[in-house]
Structure 1
Amino acid sequence: MSDTTARSSVPRLRQVVLDTEDARVLAEFYRELLGLEYLPGDEPEARAEGDDPADWLVLTDGDGARVLAFQQVASLPAPTWPEGPRPQMMHLDFWVSTVDELREQHARAVALGARVLEDGTDDPEEAIVIFADPAGHPFCIFVPDE
């Protein structure tokens, strides 16, 4: 089977969707953290004052490709990472090139509203920081050893 045939015969990932009790707050967090943009029409200024809060928002990369979406839900207990009564079902991994960049992104993430779950910045085997985003979803920023 050729690469073209294989590509057209399987589902393709459109975006990763995160459930949240406040879609706008979580979308803004990841928009700032990752330098993404709103899908046209999803920008805060696109909604008139007094409109219902956004229940579905999409962020795109610089080329317009969908990356993350946020779905408003009535209630979503945060996972208890790494163990506990509400284990995580998934998490997002992000990487940077150096430990200095990791330190810089650590400070940015916290300033944007992330909470540190585990700080392994100085771990000689794997420099990594595990965070919870404002909705409680775990995510990591690490320096790959590749």
Structure 2
Amino acid sequence: MPIATLGAVVLECPDPVALARFYAAVIGGTVTSDEDSRWVDLTGAPGTPLAFQAAPGFVPPQWPRPDSSMQFHLDLTVEDLDAAEREVLALGARPLDTEDRKRSFRVYADPAGHPFCLCAC
């Protein structure tokens, strides 16, 4: 029997509301925040819940860098890689590794710099 269940994946960032809105536009859900917006939840989206926490002095991960780990990334499954790419770029994502168009995934950074992959289903 497991000791615990995964409650949420929490991303630290400089602007939790803005990053929650980015992911709400990508995966759906509703953005809810505490009184001072230092903690924001994305609820109602399918899958594991995401939350966003204000982190003063936040330094985004560097990808790829042999001297710096990205710590984690999100894999987001999509039906059409090209269409999904256009949409996430329009929302403020930036490409990190998208040159190999034959692969089943492409790597981007969200507006706060966290890496994520769009993966073909």
TM-score of the aligned structures, taking structure 2 as reference length = 0.88
Rounded to whole Å, the distance in 2 between the matches of 1:138 and 1:62 is: 20
Aligned with 2:22 (options 26, 29, 33): 29
Residue 120 of structure 2: aligned partner: 143
Residue 59 of structure 1: aligned partner: 42
Rounded to whole Å, the distance in 2 between the matches of 1:16 and 1:86 is: 21
Higher relative strand content: 2
For residues 17-48 of structure 1, the C-alpha deviation after alignment (integer angstroms, 9 at most, x for no partner) is: 00001111111100111111124xx3xxx96x
The alpha carbon displacement at 1:141 in A equals 0.5
Following superposition of structure 1 onto structure 2, how do residues 104-123 of structure 1 map, counting pairs within 5 Å? Answer: 104-120=83-99, 122-123=101-102
Q: Which runs of 5+ in 1 are unaligned?
A: 1-5
Q: Which runs of 5+ in 2 are unaligned?
A: none
Residue 130 of structure 1: aligned partner: 107
Rounded to whole Å, the distance in 2 between the matches of 1:106 and 1:121 is: 13
For residues 46-101 of structure 1, the C-alpha deviation after alignment (integer angstroms, 9 at most, x for no partner) is: 96xxxx4x1000011258x861000001111111101154320000001123xxx1
Aligned with 2:78 (options 80, 96, 106): 96
Residue 20 of structure 1: aligned partner: 13
TM-score of the aligned structures, taking structure 1 as reference length = 0.74
| CA RMSD, Structure 1 to Structure 2 (Å) | 2.1
Residues 69 and 62 (structure 1 numbering): CA distance in 2 closer, same or farther, change over 3 Å? closer
Residues 62 and 95 (structure 1 numbering): CA distance in 2 closer, same or farther, change over 3 Å? closer
Runs (4+) of structure 1 exceeding 4 A deviation are none
Give the conservation status (yes or no) of the 8 Å contact 2:24–2:30.
Answer: yes
